[in-house]
Amino acid sequence: MNEETVEGLSLEPERYELHAEEEQHWEAARREFFGSVRGGIVVVLALDQVPATRASGAGRRGGPGVSLPQEIGVWLHIGEDGRVTGYTGKVEVGQGVRTSLTQAIADELPVPLASVRLVMGDTDLSPFDGGTSGSRTSPVVAPQLRKAAAAAREILLDLAARRAKAERASLFLEDGKVVQRGTGREFPLAELAAGQRLLKAVGDDVPTKPATAWQFADAPVPRVNGRAIVTGGHRYTSDVRRPGMLHGKVLRAPSANARRESLDTGAAGAMPGVALVVEDDFIGAAAPDELTAARAVEAIRVEWEAAGGQPSSREIFDYFKANAGEVPGSRGPTSHTAGSAAEGLSAASRVFEGTYTAAYIAHAPLEPRAAVAEWSGENGDGTLTVWTGTQRPFGVRGELAQAFGVSEDRVRVIVPDTGSGYGGKHTGEAAIEAARLAKGAGKPVKLVWTREEEFTWAYFRPAGVIDVRSGVDADGALTAWEFHNYNAGASGMRTLYDIPNQHVEFHPSRSPLRQGSYRALAATANHFARETHMDEVARAVGMDPLAFRKKHLGDARLRAVLDAAAERFGWGEALRRSPGHGFGIAGGHEKGSYVATCVEAAVDPAGGAVRIVRAVTAFECGAIINPDNLRNQVEGAVIMGIGGALFEGIAFQDGKILNARFSRYRVPRFSDVPVLETVLLDRKDLPSVGAGETPIVAIAPAVGNAVFDAIGVRLRSLPLAPNGAEPEPA
């Protein structure tokens, strides 16, 4: 076996200077790594910035059995069989990254797509990762994998040059082989990797192909595991099965913050095959099948004392204002000021005010939270393996280690490609519960939350209330802008419109419901308030809403999407308008990407129900990697946004969620989907940023503005037109 490190080869000067100590470390890493993947070539992409907080805390930081520092981006392995495997801590939750990342590797090397595999979100195998969120996967990880692949290509060319005793310049990679120009001699990857044990660490500055040279750029790539999905073969967490596995069920309190007064587990404990687990506040059962576990939990007799004084969804917005300020655990208020809003307002010839609200909404991923937990070793306190659908595998590993008082290196979290998350699966509730049950029962346990549990005990997109005040001068130009957001959150709060005097502030508040991340976070509420208010002022000063926006818009990227959406929609042209129909536009930006949506909405004269007839969305997120997947993401975000725009909202009272079922909480269905058109602006000159979130932000204000255009009624609350619950199933 060739045991050389790559430094021993005559490669171009090393780009990543190793200190003596680190060199030793890499040597150890190389030995360990090849202990589990056997031979081949490994490229480790080491990032030069090491966040101090990650440097301690120990535990395996990924890699097959390797203890590496945490400053690893990705690694890439070329096996002795010529297969290429990329390792990342990111996870696939429906955003298509398994495909786009596989494609990035295949494209960069280049090798056929079919010879590339990705290991994602496995805390024992993947490099440490902070979580799959904020649209960061494509922009961050794809370039990292490309860099690792580019470095691997150089190694392959060196190896082939040696073997062919030829100039490197005469060699190139094609279709999984190194080929020699002129002679046509071929060196398959398998041949080059065989007998090698090479590990190369490279820095973040490896040159890669420019976007203009990407071969997959204009061709849709089929999903890499699509066949498994359409045949039912793909195993989501809830499909994982372990030998001897039991099914778990957790006893829930009837309302939030209720106190347990009494407990009688006699009848449940006597049921055959049932393992009851009672540990402080946790009560659950594991049984050979779900029904038995559910019956056991039903047989537990508990009395509860409800907590009083919890606000309901009706008074929540007053509650937020009354409880704004210093909130434990929040980062405090954030604000942005330019000029003087007060002076701008007093100098204005007209002043406008509006209050906008957004309800709590649920992510309601079709796959609810689930986990399969298995302890190995003596007495259930050896090592713990948990399969769970989470966007933060390493975070959940930490939660588990803490919950059970074990070190992180004894916990492994594996994330099967997951039935979506939309920001709702950052936490490890189901993982901890399944692990508790498995520990108590002494067997692997699967726990799948019911839909009611998912609606009740997960967390929500924050509700919020936003006060806007603006002033215009005699020419209809905005001179002042005041924007106070209570509880909704700060994302997307700042305006791109050129307004000389501004004060924009986020006021954290107390939230009676658990709240957290959501697709595009607060940007939806902030865009709703801003873009609705812009429309109100435009109408009041007698300007076309698009022209009014552009009058205040130096930002070329936002202008470009507004123009593109308007053009495709036919904005301002003599669009034929049916009675009760109206047109609305809204735009914005978040996380480095830009979106504008034009909507035609129809209002039912009888019941006031709002139907979206047509929605045109223009989107720009830098260079487009996979146009087909991008279109899919944009459409999906717009459709999801229709739910929050029109009818989604959590109703709650006395600590209870009143609509914790799909029959009570309406989400978009087939018939809610309008004619959808998507215009993608490709900026090959700009780095790609993620696309899973931002396209959701413009639909709600565009719909509200279209409703105003249709019937002259201004809607300032999300959801705009909750037409009650759907009828119960027949």
| Interaction site with another protein (CB under 8 A) | 93-96, 220, 222-223, 226-227, 229-236, 238-239, 241, 247, 289-292, 364-368, 417-420, 422, 448, 450-451, 628-629, 632-633, 635-640, 661-663, 667-671, 673, 676, 729
Per-residue burial over 371-383, b if 16 or more Cβ lie within 10 Å, else e, is bbbbbeeeebeee
328 binds, among another protein, ligand FES, none (CB under 5 to 8 A by kind): none
Select from ligand FES, another protein, none the partner in contact with residue 668, using the beta carbon and a kind-dependent cut-off of 5 to 8 Å: another protein
Decide which of another protein, ligand FES, none touches 223; Cβ closer than 5 to 8 Å per partner kind: another protein
Output the six-digit token pair for 629.
Answer: 């997947």
- Residue 240 or 490: the one with the smaller Cβ distance to another protein is 240
Question: Residue 612, Cα to own-chain centre: how many angstroms?
Answer: 26
Taking CB within 5 to 8 Å according to partner kind, which of ligand FES, another protein, none is near residue 629? another protein
231, interface contact from another protein, ligand FES, none, CB < 5-8 Å by kind: another protein
Which is nearer to another protein, 471 or 643 (by Cβ)?
643
| CB closer to ligand FES, 82 vs 94 | 94
Identify residue 114 by its one-letter amino acid code. A
CB of 94 to ligand FES, least distance (A): 5
| Residue 448 interface partner, choices another protein, ligand FES, none, CB cut-off 5-8 Å depending on type | another protein
Binding to ligand FES (CB under 6 A) within 460-519 occurs at none
Q: Count of residues for the chain?
A: 730
Q: How far is the CB of 367 from ligand FES (least distance, A)?
A: 8
The whole-angstrom separation of Cα 127 and Cα 64 is: 10
Binding to ligand FES (CB under 6 A): which residues in 401-440?
420
- Nearest CB to another protein, comparing residues 341 and 595: 595
* Cis, bond preceding 110 (omega within 30 deg of 0): yes
Q: Does 230 bind ligand FES (CB under 6 A)?
A: no
Distance CA 688, CA 101 (A): 13
Given the complex with another protein, which of 128 and 457 has the nearer CB atom? 457
Cis-peptide, bond into residue 719, ω within 30° of zero: yes
Query: Can you name the residues that pair with 301 across neighbouring β-strands?
Result: 264
Considering beta carbons, is residue 66 or 296 the nearer one to another protein?
Answer: 296
Beta carbon nearer to another protein, 417 or 482: 417
**Cβ atoms of 643 and 518 closer than 8 Å:** no
The least CB distance from residue 729 to ligand FES, in Å, is 9
From another protein, ligand FES, none, interface partner of 551 (C-beta below 5 to 8 A by class): none
Measured from the CB atom, is 230 or 366 closer to ligand FES?
366
Compute the least distance from the CB of residue 159 to another protein, in Å.
37
Q: Please say whether the dihedral angle defined by the alpha carbons of residues 615, 618, 621 and 624, taken in this order, is positive or negative.
A: positive
Q: Output the furthest CA–CA distance in the chain (Å, rounded).
A: 85
Binding partner of residue 639 among ligand FES, another protein, none, CB cut-off 5 to 8 Å per kind: another protein
Q: Which is nearer to another protein, 485 or 632 (CB)?
A: 632
The answer to the question of residue 444 lying near ligand FES (CB under 6 A) is no
List of residues 6+ apart from 722 with CB closer than 8 A: 646, 647, 648, 649, 666
What is the closest distance, in whole angstroms, from the C-beta atom of residue 662 to another protein in the complex?
4
- Return the one option of another protein, ligand FES, none that residue 38 interacts with (CB less than 5 to 8 A, by type): none
Sign of CA dihedral 514, 519, 522, 527: negative
Residue 244 touches which member of another protein, ligand FES, none, C-beta under 5-8 Å by kind: none
Nearest by Cα to 555 from 595, 519, 585: 595
Neighbours of 436 (CB within 10 A): 22
The residue (of 420 and 495) whose beta carbon lies closer to ligand FES is 420
Cα 557 from Cα 549, distance rounded (Å): 13
Q: What is the DSSP letter of 140?
A: I
Distance CA(152)–CA(77), nearest Å, equals: 9
Q: How far is the CB of 275 from another protein (least distance, A)?
A: 17
Segment holding 144, helix H or strand E: helix 142-164
The reply to whether 94 sits near ligand FES by the rule CB under 6 A is: yes
Q: Are 707 and 584 a contacting pair, CB within 8 Å?
A: yes
Which residue's CB is nearer to ligand FES, number 162 or number 669? 669
CB of 229 to ligand FES, least distance (A): 9
> Cα separation of 191 and 2, whole Å?
13
Site string for ligand FES, 100-129 (x = CB under 6 A): ------------------------------
Closest distance to another protein from the beta carbon of 239 (Å): 4
Minimal distance, residue 644 CB to ligand FES, in Å: 16
Q: Minimum CB separation from ligand FES for residue 538, in Å?
A: 37
Element (H, E) at 464: strand 464-472
CB atoms within 10 A of CB 247: 19
Distance (Å, rounded) from C-alpha 589 to C-alpha 527?
9
- Partner whose binding site includes residue 484, from ligand FES, another protein, none (CB under 5 to 8 Å by kind): none
Output the smallest distance, CB 629 to ligand FES, in A. 13
Cβ proximity to ligand FES: between 139 and 636 the closer is 636
Nearer CB in complex with another protein: 236/282: 236
Is the CB of residue 131 less than 8 Å from the CB of residue 392?
Answer: yes
Cβ 152 vs Cβ 78: under 8 Å: yes
Contacting residue, 366, 547, 575, 713, with ligand FES by CB under 6 A: 366
* Phi, psi dihedral angles at 402 (to 5 degrees): -70, -45
C-beta of 366 vs 675, nearer to ligand FES: 366
> Quick one: which of 85, 114, 102, 113 has its CA closest to 141?
102
The CA distance from 684 to 693, in Å, is 20
Tokens found for residue 69? 């520092």
Q: How far is the CB of 420 from ligand FES (least distance, A)?
A: 5
In this structure, the number of other CB atoms found within 10 A of the CB of residue 355 comes to: 14
| Cα–Cα distance for residue pair 677/617, rounded to 1 Å | 6
For residues 95 and 509, which CB has a smaller minimum distance to another protein in the complex?
95
Rounded Cα distance between 133 and 516, Å, is 12
Smallest distance, ligand FES to C-beta of residue 295, A: 20
Min dist CB 453 to another protein, Å, is: 11
CA distance linking residue 497 with residue 501, whole number of Å = 11
Q: Binds 234, which of another protein, ligand FES, none (CB < 5 to 8 A, cut-off by type)? A: another protein
Angle between helices 699-711 and 523-540 (to 10 degrees): 30
Closest contact distance (angstroms) between CB of 564 and another protein is 20
In degrees, rounded to 5, the angle at the alpha carbon of residue 655 between the alpha carbons of residues 507 and 647 is: 70
Residue 9 exposed, middle or buried by CB count within 10 Å (0-12, 13-18, 19+): middle
Closest distance between ligand FES and the C-beta of residue 290, in Å? 13
Strand partners, 505: 335, 484
- Whose Cβ is closer to another protein: residue 42's or residue 293's? 293
Residue 294 binds which of another protein, ligand FES, none (CB < 5-8 A, kind-dependent): none
Residues binding ligand FES (CB under 6 A): 94, 366, 420
